[in-house]
A = this chain, B = another copy of it.
Amino acid sequence: MEGKITINDVAKAAGVSKGTVDRVLHNRGEVSAASKARVLKVIEELGFSPNVYASLLASRKVRKIVCLIPEFHQGEFWELTEKGIGAGQENAAKYGVEVVTVRYDQYDMESFQRACARTLEEDPVGVVLAPMFRNETLKFVKELSAKGIYYVYIDSKLEEDGYLAYFGMPMYQSGYLCADILTMGMPVRSVNIIRIARDKKGLSDPTLTRRTGFVDYIGEHFPDCEVRNVFIDPKDRDLRFEALDRMFGQMPADHLVMFNSRIHLVADYLRERGVHGCRVVGFDVLEKNLAALREDYVQALIAQHSDQQAAAAIDSIVEVSLLHRPLAKRDNFTQMDILNRYNCDYYL
């Protein structure tokens, strides 16, 4: 915009034409090693950086990014992620990049496979995905790599090496933190972990790591504290209430925690049974969780900005694939937010 140096300046200084400079810029071959070297040197010396608008304006091609995430109902965890996809979409749109979302049933592997196929059909420059099925995901990202398609993990990541970036919570630490919040750093006799009973075949369980962190904290700080596991059914209300009745019947249960986003299931029980005085901690800012927090059936929520994570994931692909900017960090462990009834209204 100012006395900016342009591709013409580079061309002149290197003694070649704009065409050649453009070719080395996007290294699409057809350039002798000699001129390439010369151009590169001049670019370096002059500190040339291309004008994004001019570039985008001239090359009017549509680029796509696809987001591959689970289907969900309103009020569930992935809703926030989707909101972030919307934000990322807006930003990408500024660069003429289209963002499409492909969904699958997170409990149905074949549905995931079909979604992968659909993703490839879109011929995207990059894909943002949450790895729910470990093996299938590994297979899929290998394909992406082969085709030169960038991919970035959100929510959780797999231990492999081809991803462009990762945006998500540090799972182990979140469990560790959770234990501190639950106990308030003071000795407690026992804690009850409420878990979802479900047969998971091939499903990776990100909350496992979180639970490990939790248990480690308890072991390190309060070795005498008993850690109990109670399983509930998310679908069947009656069974769930029965299980919780049994729990409260058997022994004093004044410290409750869940490692997924469904602490509201417990809150429902407490509300209905009129149980007060428990310390209850859960994860994530679902509307129902917030309600429980405000009513004081839940005392704290550990939250993450899954919206920002998704938006950042999309941005990272835009940055790299269009603007050719290197990424600052590959693994982005985002902050863990502690929410209580006094600060939750200013979240989001």
Task: A342 to B302: give the CA distance in the assembly, Å.
Answer: 12
How far is B340's CA from A178's CA once the two chains are assembled, in angstroms?
Answer: 12
Residue ID in chain B nearest A97 by CB atoms: B1
Residues of the B chain whose Cβ atoms lie less than 8 Å from the Cβ of A54: 53, 57
Determine if B176 and A346 form an interchain contact, defined as CB atoms under 8 angstroms apart: no
Q: Are B340 and A180 in contact (CB under 8 A)?
A: yes
Complex interface: stretch among A155-163, A224-232, A329-337: A329-337
Contacts of A61 in B (CB 8 A): 1
Cβ–Cβ < 8 Å partners of A342 in chain B: 173, 176-177, 180
Identify which of B52, B94, B170, B343 contacts A346 (C-beta below 8 A).
Answer: B170
Q: Write out the residue numbers on chain B whose beta carbons fall within 8 Å of the beta carbon of A336.
A: 343, 346
Number of copies: 2
Contact A1 B60 (CB under 8 A): yes
Distance, CA A347 to CA B334, complexed state (A): 7
The reply to whether A1 and B346 form a contact with Cβ atoms under 8 Å apart is: no
A291: shortest Cβ distance to chain B, in Å? Answer: 18
CB-CB under 8 A for A346 and B335, given A52-B94, A60-B1: yes
Q: A2-B62, A53-B54 are in contact. Are A343 and B347 (CB under 8 A)?
A: no
Flag if B1 contacts A96 (CB, 8 Å). yes
Q: Name A346's closest neighbour in chain B (CB-CB).
A: B335
Q: Which residues of A contact B (CB under 8 A)?
A: 1-2, 51-54, 56-57, 60-62, 94, 96, 170, 173, 176-177, 180, 184, 333-338, 340, 342-343, 345-348
